[in-house]
Structure 1
Amino acid sequence: LTRQPEVTPPPPPQVTPINDVLTIIDDDDTAEETNFASSEETGEDVVIKHIPVTVDEEVVVEDDIFVIVEENPQFPDGGTAGLLQYLGKNIKYPTIPQENGTQGRVTVQFVVNKDGSIVDVKVIRGVDPYLDKEAVRVISTMPKWIPGKQRGVPVRCKFTVPVTFKLQ
């Protein structure tokens, strides 16, 4: 049999004394009363004023980068199919990963500006440094996109593209 040492509970925290002084008032003291006259007693008409409700529309701030928008940004030449064709034509498989047999999917995220330009290209999930660098190069050289829109106004928004590197 093994015995575990008994653990004594910590002492309770000290209670700090309350320094508030309560004064007791006799029941004989009188308090001031406030009387309110109702419209029935005064005989006056009750007037209900109409206050118009104003709704302030949310103003889109220029520097905000949206993740979800009403209209997603689109590649200018054929949408998603055009993007895949562009990637297929412009990717040059780096020689070192090709010799090593390295293949996989590089996930790249970038921001499409209001004018459709591509900025802040970064790799979210990489495979190989050479493949990552090639994916960033090709994404950075893309033509201007059709920007995403929120309430009909072009806004900056993030976009994620998987770039697949596959050997024959």
Structure 2
Amino acid sequence: MELKKNPSADIGRRKLLFFSIGLAVTMLFIVVSFEWRVYDSITKVEFKDDGEDFEEQIEIPITEMPPPPPPVLQQPEVIEVPDEEKIDEEIEVNLDVEFKEEAPPPPPVKVDLPPPPPPVVEKEEKIFMIVEDQAMPKGGLRKFYKYIGKNLKYPSQARRMGVEGKVYIQFVVEKDGSITDIKILKGIGSGCDEEAIRVLKNAPKWKPGKQRGVPVRVRRSIPIVFKLQ
């Protein structure tokens, strides 16, 4: 006997449709997951002008150097050396000499000397990096960089080789405002480092830094730019 089944009660007749819908929903979920983006919040930061406490970079103009004078060729002087002269005189040496034995010297007398005084150890004063009143050039940094631009000479070797860049130099401002302990933190060579040290050694005294109203030693660093025009 053949079994008769109502088509509306057949569960498997829409299996392909449900499978297609599920596959489409899954692919949509995967695409949305990969394309989803999260942006970080951006905070607006305001920068304030701190007055003269800045490091200005100055371009050092090229210095015209006069051409070197032509070399002077000197004719070597010829000196005539006379022939060796023969020595006719004979020197007689008398070896029959009596030597008298001398008495040995007396032993040295020991003298008790007072002990030497202990060495005086000078206590090195502390060098500050940050102070209440920072060490500054007299007249401000702008005037100090004008002094550097006026007195700095571009080395001939660096100009000939086309060397440019920044020389970072570090130094200590003493209590009296003098500049000591000059060091190169990062140089470019070709005579530029030595020229930066030379100009800084001859620089005028700074206004010393103060901590609680008392002058102290402060370490500072500045960049000096060497640039060809």
TM over 0.5: yes
How far the C-alpha of 1:81 sits from its partner, in A, is 0.4
- In structure 1, the residue matched to 2:126 is 64
2:157 counterpart of 1:82? no
| Kept after mapping to 2: 8 A contact 1:62/1:155 | no
2:223 counterpart of 1:162? yes
- In structure 1, the residue matched to 2:167 is 106
- In structure 1, the residue matched to 2:183 is 122
SS in 2 for 1:116: coil
Q: 1:62 to 1:149 in 2, by over 3 A?
A: farther
2:149 counterpart of 1:73? no
Measured in 1, the distance between the counterparts of 2:214 and 2:194 equals 33
- In structure 2, the residue matched to 1:14 is none
| Paired positions, count | 107
Q: 1:62 to 1:69 in 2, by over 3 A?
A: farther
2:159 counterpart of 1:94? no
Q: Using the aligned pairs only, state the percent identity.
A: 50
- Counterpart of 1:148 (choices 209, 216, 221) is 209
SS in 2 for 1:72: coil
| Kept after mapping to 1: 8 A contact 2:158/2:190 | no
Measured in 2, the distance between the counterparts of 1:161 and 1:90 equals 16
| Kept after mapping to 2: 8 A contact 1:65/1:157 | yes
How far the C-alpha of 1:83 sits from its partner, in A, is 1.2
SS in 1 for 2:188: coil
How far the C-alpha of 1:108 sits from its partner, in A, is 0.4
Q: What amino acid does structure 2 have at the position aligned with 1:95?
A: S
Q: 1:105 to 1:157 in 2, by over 3 A?
A: same
SS in 2 for 1:97: helix
Q: Please identify the structure whose Cα radius of gyration is greater.
A: 2
Moved over 4 A (4+): none
| Kept after mapping to 1: 8 A contact 2:171/2:182 | yes
- In structure 1, the residue matched to 2:65 is none
Measured in 1, the distance between the counterparts of 2:190 and 2:183 equals 12
How far the C-alpha of 1:62 sits from its partner, in A, is 6.5
How far the C-alpha of 1:113 sits from its partner, in A, is 0.2
Unaligned runs of 5+ in 2: 1-122
| Kept after mapping to 1: 8 A contact 2:154/2:192 | yes
How far the C-alpha of 1:128 sits from its partner, in A, is 1.1
Measured in 1, the distance between the counterparts of 2:190 and 2:159 equals 13
| Kept after mapping to 1: 8 A contact 2:163/2:190 | no
Pairs within 5 Å for 1:23-34: none
| Kept after mapping to 2: 8 A contact 1:148/1:156 | yes
